[in-house]
Chains A and B, each alone.
Chain A
Amino acid sequence: KAGVTQTPRYLIKTRGQQVTLSCSPISGHRSVSWYQQTPGQGLQFLFEYFSETQRNKGNFPGRFSGRQFSNSRSEMNVSTLELGDSALYLCASSLGGTLTEAFFGQGTRLTVV
């Protein structure tokens, strides 16, 4: 079966701009989670969507938002970009139950200049 697809793979934006990243989960998976990975902070949980509803949220400012569509595809948006938002953004999909395996996409590498 097809894996988790994230688009675009690479992105360069200017400070103050906004950006939208996309994630298509594995077919049949209803949960999509987003993570930010940086050399300094490691992998940090942003939020999780399940059946179009945000189910869990990490400790990120309101500039970071997301949504999930009826086909389980998810988007995350970052407004008013800061240099510190430069990171690898990873999406993970799962069936959504307890202890189900999370499958990660290859990520979107965002560089803010």
Chain B
Amino acid sequence: TQLLEQSPQFLSIQEGENLTVYCNSSSVFSSLQWYRQEPGEGPVLLVTVVTGGEVKKLKRLTFQFGDARKDSSLHITAAQPGDTGLYLCAGLNTGTASKLTFGTGTRLQVTL
């Protein structure tokens, strides 16, 4: 069974601070996705990283896929209250492309 552990589990910060969320596994994944889920809603895809060592930037969010494709990180610069939500990483494997293995989740709260 492939498991994805996220840390920290909870994070409460003030607006303007930076933060990093980690997603670690002992298994290799073909690709990894990051989602954000808000209360009462389903997860929304933020990014997909495919190549080991890949770094993708989306405005204030920076995503990195580990060289060995077993881990990933999400860094948010100058967090805003709108960043509040549950952040989930999810691994995919070739051959079972629609089967997402989700991480344990990181609940982020950004206050004014």
| Contact across chains for B42 and A96 when beta carbons are under 8 A apart | no
Q: Contacts A98-B97, A104-B44 known; A43 to B102 CB distance under 8 Å?
A: yes
What count of chain B residues pass the 8 Å CB interface test?
24
- Chain A binder among B12-20, B70-78, B88-96: B88-96
Q: Is the interface of A mostly helix, strand, loop or mixed?
A: strand
Interface size class of A (residues with CB under 8 A): 20 to 34
Contacts of A101 in B (CB 8 A): 45, 48
Number of A-B residue pairs at CB separation under 8 A: 63
**Does B84 make an interface contact (CB < 8 A)?**
no
| Contact across chains for A92 and B42 when beta carbons are under 8 A apart | yes
Q: With CB as the reference atom, state the residue of chain A lying closest to B31.
A: A99
Nearest CB of B to A110, in Å: 15
Q: Contacts A42-B102, A43-B88, A43-B102 known; A56 to B42 CB distance under 8 Å?
A: no
| Contact across chains for A99 and B97 when beta carbons are under 8 A apart | yes
**Does A64 make an interface contact (CB < 8 A)?**
no
Contacts of A58 in B (CB 8 A): 99
**Does B50 make an interface contact (CB < 8 A)?**
yes
Beyond A92-B42, A100-B97, 8 additional contacts (C-beta under 8 Å) are A4-B42, A33-B98, A33-B100, A43-B43, A43-B105, A99-B31, A99-B92, A107-B42
A-B contact pairs, 14 of them (CB 8 A): A33-B98, A43-B102, A43-B105, A45-B99, A48-B98, A56-B96, A58-B99, A90-B42, A97-B97, A100-B97, A102-B45, A102-B98, A106-B41, A106-B42
